[in-house]
Amino acid sequence: MSDNCQSQRGQDLIWDYYQNESPETFEGSRARLRLLVSRIEPFEVALNIGCGSGLFEELAVSNKIDIHSLDPSERSIGQLRGALHLGDKARVGYIQQLPFSNSYFDVVVVSEVLEHLTPAVTRAGLEEIRRVLKPGGRILGTVPSREDLRAQIAVCPGCGKKFHKWGHEQSFNPEEMEHLLGDYFYAVRVVERPIVPWRNLNWKGGCVGMVKALLWKLGIHGSNENLVFEGSKPLDNHRAR
């Protein structure tokens, strides 16, 4: 995993493809996105970083959330503007340089995004999220938990370059995520849990999902879980630590 322009270009190509040519990829995200939408109050001003197929925005509009969206893909943002009539609320850009005013949002959502960033870009992005949040505003998000990055490595048959299938650059555990967020936010809460996409599962998958959910309630963790996190911007606008 590298910290250079080729890495950023590679990320853009991967997600431009999935978002615009294979949007069905995101249908399994519905349960995760519903969970996050449920934590935002109607009429709150919220920013979603990384629009995917636009499913989060659809759910947010249905819940009367004043939703804004940011994504590097011009095609994705153009489709989102057309489908939901978001206008300038949907913008092309990157997390490390958010094109929004200081103290503008009640909530910023960054779900399945931070694992795609290098450590330096992650910290720059968190600083930007903190900037655009209102005092007392919240960051909400998810990342894969304890991911073994090597398990998803592929090799380009053309150039021989190795890359992560989904473009992941980092793996997080609960302690690392809590410490990272604590440098920018207070009242940080990180929960390691499975998020089961019930509506996308057949009966066998449903049985596996039920077992995973039961084990989680008993405090037993397995593979393919998420870290669900939340934190608040300090009211005095000073660093959390």
Q: Mind listing the pLDDT tens digit for each residue in 102-147?
A: 999 999 999 999 999 999 999 999 999 999 999 999 999 999 999 9
Instruction: For residue 12, tell me if it sits in a domain.
Output: yes
Q: How far apart are CA 77 and CA 91, in angstroms?
A: 6
Q: Tell me whether residue 190 is in a domain.
A: yes
CATH number of the structural domain spanning residue 105: 3.40.50.150
- pTM of the predicted model over 0.95: no
Number of domains in the chain: 1
Please indicate, yes or no, if residue 216 is contained in any of the structural domains.
no
Chain segment 22-65, per-residue pLDDT in tens: 555 566 789 999 999 999 999 999 999 999 889 999 999 999 99
Q: Report yes or no: 80 and 62 within 8 Å, Cβ to Cβ.
A: no
Q: Distances in Å between the alpha carbon of 171 and those of 8, 150, 175, 214? A: 17, 10, 12, 25
